[in-house]
Amino acid sequence: MTDLCDPAAVRRLLEENGLAPRKAFGQNFLINPAIPAEIAEVSAAAPFFWEENRTEGTCALEIGPGLGALTRELAARYAAVTAVEIDRGLIPVLAGTLADCPNAEIVEADFMKTDVPALLSRFGGKPVHVAGNLPYYITTPILMRLLESYPADGSSPIRRITLMVQKEVADRLCAPTGSDVCGAITVSTALYGRAERRFTVSAGNFYPAPKVASAVVTIETYPHGLYDLYPDAPRGEAFAPFFARVRDLIAAAFGQRRKTLTNALSGLYPREDAAAALRRLGLREDVRGEKLSALDYCQLADELK
């Protein structure tokens, strides 16, 4: 079996199949065997923040398996693995590198064009962990597609997401409220789950080496949807318009983040109404959007309804 993390073996395997790392797909192959193993372990292992997410028979969805180094580690830890690969040239390569992993299947597809619930139906209703070494240029769209594929007022079959991303993206995903790097992606992700940085990965662990460092993060989704963050969120038919208000507030706040929140929201609400709502929540009228947490935005949406 080819060592999928040996630089010479990786180059040889690509050359034998008439392939090379494709910049258009953001392909940077891991060449340190410890990294795929650690990603898979972080993906599969306890502890879980919410005990409800600790379930038996969990399956794995991998986005962008590349040559299969992480796929093999996932297959050793999960009952079943489905890996989605956009590069048609890698499909026959994966058939060889995963030949001794009968619980792993490859789907040739552009993940951004897939029906996520239909894709996960392959697992027969079992809980799913998602893992991947994502192309830097499309990290945020992929993450939000995963999170937004299921209604926010209920549990998702996706219980944990473990991703290798650009270090700066990891900083934003896990940023504390009020920090300079806290942004729309920070707050939006927190509407669906709890983000945590796990470990950093230097550029030398990849072939070809990227120009930036990477980091692995996990997002553990709320087992009861948004109600785990904001128990007072409305239920039933009232939830959808409420959640739309929350999303609109976040978009407006970070779309004009240099402005105070009352000014940034002026296209949605009269300035005096926004100011009064902030006062009722014990917040300053001149507060800026990055100073509010996801919970704050939920409460503000209720105040401005």
In this prediction the pTM is: 0.94
Query: Domain boundaries in the chain?
Result: 7-228, 236-303
pLDDT at 163: 97
- Percentage of the chain beyond pLDDT 90 is 80
Instruction: Look at 1-10, 127-136, 143-152, 174-183 and tell me which has the smallest mean pLDDT.
Output: 1-10
The arrangement of strands across the sheet holding 214-221 comes to: 104-108, 81-85, 59-63, 128-133, 158-166, 214-221, 193-201
Q: How confident is the model at residue 27 (pLDDT cuts 50, 70, 90)?
A: confident
Q: Cβ(62)–Cβ(85) under 8 Å?
A: no
For residue 258, what pLDDT is reported?
85
Q: For domain 7-228, is the CATH number 3.10.290.10?
A: no
Query: Is 111 in contact with 142 (CB distance < 8 Å)?
Result: yes
In this structure, is the dihedral angle defined by the CA atoms of residues 288, 289, 294 and 296, taken in order, positive or negative? positive
pLDDT given at position 262: 95
Residue range 288-303, pLDDT digits in tens = 999 999 999 999 999 9
User: What's the mean per-residue pLDDT of the chain?
Assistant: 94
Average pLDDT over residues 187-196: 97
Among the residue ranges 15-19, 104-108, 138-142, 176-180, the one predicted with the least confidence is 15-19
Tokens for 142, please give them: 């992929």
Is the pLDDT higher at 76 or at 256?
76
| 7-228 shares its CATH topology with 236-303 | no
Q: What is the pLDDT of residues 155-190, one digit of tens each?
A: 999 999 999 999 999 999 999 998 989 999 999 999
Predicted confidence band of residue 1 (pLDDT cuts 50, 70, 90): low
151 in Cβ contact with 225 (< 8 Å): yes
For residues 136 and 152, what is the distance between their CA atoms, to the nearest angstrom?
Answer: 26
Collect all residues with Cβ–Cβ distance below 8 Å to 164 and sequence separation of at least 6.
Answer: 39, 132, 133, 134, 201, 214, 215, 216
Q: What is the pLDDT of residue 10?
A: 86
Share of the chain above pLDDT 70, in %: 100
CA distance 82 to 80: 7
Opening angle at CA 116, ends 150 and 126, nearest 5? 75
Give per-residue pLDDT as tens, 39-76: 999 999 988 898 888 888 899 999 999 999 999 999 99
Question: Cα–Cα distance between 64 and 31 in angstroms, integer?
Answer: 16
Stretch 232-259: mean pLDDT, rounded?
Answer: 95
Tokens (6 digits) for 172: 């934003």
| CATH class of the domain comprising 236-303 | mainly alpha
Mean pLDDT of 250-275: 93
DSSP structural state of residue 209:
P
Kindly state the tokens that stand for 207: 């072939």
